[in-house]
Amino acid sequence: MQYAHSLADYGLQTAKLIQNREVGWLTKNRKTGEFVRERQPLAKKLRMAVLFNPFIEWVDRTSLFRFWIHEKTDHSQKKESDPRSKEQIKSFVEFYQIDMDEFEPSDINAYSSFQEFFIRHHKPNARPVASPEDPSVATMVADSRVVVYDSVEETHKLWIKGRDFSIAQLISDKVAARPWANGAVASFRLSPQDYHRYHSPVRGVVRWWKELDGDYYSVDPVAIRSDIDVLAANARSAFCLSTSEFGDVLFVAIGALEVGTVKLSDKITCVLPGSAHNNAGKVTIEKGEEVGFFEFGGSSIIIAFERGRIRFDEDLKGVSAQLIEMDVEVGMTLGKATAPAS
């Protein structure tokens, strides 16, 4: 009888989660401590189950599926830029329960298209930067869900399951990737409802940047934990910051399904290595400074630190070891430098 009651309770709880569309990955809200499942359209959840299974992962190696993904992304870019797309904003805000008081403008009627709404700005001081005067404290780069691991090996073992995931593969450069060969990794996942501008976790000087063309796979945890090398296959932009406290820090912004562009700020892309007017090493990025934005859909960011140069916050490490993402806001603490400034 007790077993029957437990089974009935489980069924009712599951039905309620489905009714509320809380069918995404399990996360922990850092501010409240509450464990919740992310709100997600049922159609998207079913699509993930269909697309990321052993058979489709085999099929996915062909060019046909990749062509379909590119076509879908191009279509979405045109659709969301159309002024008529602003009609979607109200239902989108209501479904995801977005607090527009945090954004500027806060009136949804002020946006000319869904694209403009998607790359909305926070109001000043809506996301204060932790310890702004202490360069040894690294901060969150986006409103997102994050997992952290002390090494690439641990990241690959527990979270990113792609067949050949490595930092060298991620930036397509074995030599440039050497500082982070088995360094610490923070993996951020942005959902469609999130603020899609991203910020620097540390203060540093831009050493180099690059853009890499690719596909537009979903970055849902179901996809990340599949055998497909999603992060290294998707279109992405990367840059390296040289810091006194953390050594070299790698920032990789990764596009995903229905993401039309991965934009780095003009301040970063003005660095022109190899040019007669080369200014590499002369452009300083402040902690918390905006460094780019995504257009459309979900997306992901990988931050890599040299091994032994950061101690991630213990609450982040605890949930990450349980394969639970921490729901965080840009500017919150990520970790502390473990090596003294040189």
Is 99 annotated as catalytic? no
Q: Of these residues, 60, 85, 136, 143, which one is catalytic?
A: 143
Question: How far, in Å, CA of 134 to CA of 126, rounded?
Answer: 20
Q: Of these residues, 144, 191, 299, 300, which one is catalytic?
A: 299
User: 145, 326 in Cβ contact below 8 A?
Assistant: yes
Is 299 annotated as catalytic? yes
What tokens were used for 38?
Answer: 């992310």
User: 251, 209 in Cβ contact below 8 A?
Assistant: no
Residue with tokens 């991965």: 262
Q: Of these residues, 85, 187, 199, 229, which one is catalytic?
A: 199
**Cβ neighbours for 61, distance < 8 A, ≥ 6 positions apart:** none
Is 143 annotated as catalytic? yes
Which of the residues are catalytic? Answer: 143, 199, 299
